[in-house]
Amino acid sequence: MTTRSLGRLRRTDFPYYAAHPDAVYLDSGATSQRPETVISAETDFVGADYAAVHRGSSVATGEATWAFETARERVAAFIGAGERELVWTAGATDAINMIALGISDASLGLGSADLALSAGDEIVVTEAEHHANLIPWQRLAARTGAVLRHVAVDADGLWSLDGMRREVSPRTRLISFPHVSNVTGQIAPVADIVGLAAEVGALTVLDACQSVPHMPVDFSTLGVDFAAFSAHKMLGPTGIGALYGRAELLDVLPPARTGGSMITTVTMEHAEFLPAPNRFEAGTQPVSQAIGFGAAVDYLASLGMSDVRSHEEGIAEALVETVTRTPGVRLIGPAPGDERAAIASVIVDGVHAHDVGQFLDDRGVTIRTGHHCAQPLHRALGVPATVRASASVYTDLDDVARFGEALGEVRDYFGVTA
Ligand SMILES: Cc1ncc(COP(=O)(O)O)c(C=O)c1O
């Protein structure tokens, strides 16, 4: 087993590995480690160039605003968006809530009638959603009288295009789905779903949290209407993410948050909003995090996202091979040999996921246990929790081997013989 090496990547780029030379970090699906360039971009900005952004006319403000907007240009270019199509948010959760709350306002008559939902309209999601791409739609349905439908998953936690076809109807107004499942690693057939949505005139929302960090993604080519992702899963800082939206939609989506810096005119009775993206960025923004986010996409772009994907395909293959040859361990998600992201969630027969996690942790292997914010998916699998290993650019085959060794010892340790 080989993986394509990522030419410019050095583990020494990541201070985490200097602090923990023997670490096996397989929890990048939760949050990723950051290269020195990201950390220093943020601290250098805070140390030397910090000032208010988009407020006042001083030279310092002008320079800080330039840095902030340049970061936006870089993140936008990274995902094939125009600058007006990239809104800073607190993260993917925040971005999805902003879409749902905006549509909720439109449904109350506070914005474009084109985006309004009425009682009986339908929203379609999958049973594999992260709660961040489920609960906002539940709330939107409750507020508007819309019906929330879902595509069920099968015994491996997979949903299908056929299943989606069965749920979509002429009443469907919005389809929201995960580009990559954070539990199974399943990769969605985005173009097919965009085509299906177009047939019934529905909007599409892509939860791209687990795809943008790991493969080439261009939202305008994919043709989705909205998308959400988080910096901290793609080598960047916490506290910032992005909402992508087609410019003409963002210009009519009501802002979920209102206040300073997002208006043109305010009277005691009324406010007019700026065009996108500023109409969504009320209040003081996460400026240094935006600078760090820009540095993170620069780092990923320097590796080349096609090379990142090939590298992680090799890791995914190794994870699948390791898990499937370990007795008493069941792999969730795509079958061996089928396309998947470098995420492997497993159930160990006879041992609770949390005990597996503790055992691996004691051996220096950091993975995630629990429901991974996807309770409906776990309910469908019939287990409360799984054990998830997830990779990033710095993951290597040695990490997978050490994960495999420890996983292979778990059942013996807990005295499970059957
Ligand atoms: C698929 C998916 N969607 C949404 C989220 C939410 O991201 P955040 O917590 O950064 O807002 C996550 C995070 O785990 C995720 O994996």
| pLDDT at 2 (0 to 100) | 47
pLDDT tens digits, residue range 234-291? 999 999 999 999 999 999 999 999 999 999 999 999 999 999 999 999 999 999 999 9
- CB of 277 closer than 6 A to ligand 1? no
CA–CA gap between residue 266 and residue 270 (Å, rounded): 6
Instruction: Say whether pLDDT at 5 is over 90.
Output: no
Angle of helix 287-303 relative to helix 59-78, nearest 10 degrees? 40
Q: Give the torsion sign (CA, 390, 396, 402, 405).
A: positive
| pLDDT at 57 (0 to 100) | 87
Burial class (CB in 10 A: 0-12, 13-18, 19+), 48: exposed
C-alpha of 155 from chain center: 24
| pLDDT at 25 (0 to 100) | 98
CA–CA gap between residue 380 and residue 126 (Å, rounded): 12
pLDDT band with cut points at 50, 70 and 90 for residue 10: confident
- CB of 97 closer than 6 A to ligand 1? no
CA of 325 relative to ligand 1 center, distance in Å: 30
Closest Cα to residue 229, out of 215, 245, 242?
242
CA of 92 relative to ligand 1 center, distance in Å: 6
Instruction: Say whether pLDDT at 71 is over 60.
Output: yes
CA of 132 relative to ligand 1 center, distance in Å: 6
The pTM (predicted TM-score) of the whole model is 0.97
Q: Which domains, from first to last, does the chain contain? A: 11-30+304-413 (3.90.1150.10), 40-301 (3.40.640.10)
Q: CA 371 → CA 34, 47, 269, 360, 365, distances in Å?
A: 25, 40, 46, 17, 19
CA–CA gap between residue 258 and residue 281 (Å, rounded): 8
- CB of 289 closer than 6 A to ligand 1? no
**The token pair that represents 34 in the structure block:** 């950051």
Catalytic residue among 52, 161, 373, 397: 373
Sheet holding 329-331, edge to edge: 329-331, 343-348, 386-390, 368-370
pLDDT tens digits, residue range 141-151? 999 999 999 99
| pLDDT at 1 (0 to 100) | 46
Helix/strand/coil for 229: strand
pLDDT band with cut points at 50, 70 and 90 for residue 30: very high
Closest Cα to residue 150, out of 390, 404, 375, 403?
375
pLDDT tens digits, residue range 160-182? 999 999 999 999 999 999 999 99
Angle of helix 287-303 relative to helix 305-324, nearest 10 degrees? 80
pLDDT tens digits, residue range 199-247? 999 999 999 999 999 999 999 999 999 999 999 999 999 999 999 999 9
| pLDDT at 258 (0 to 100) | 97
Percent of the chain topping pLDDT 70: 98
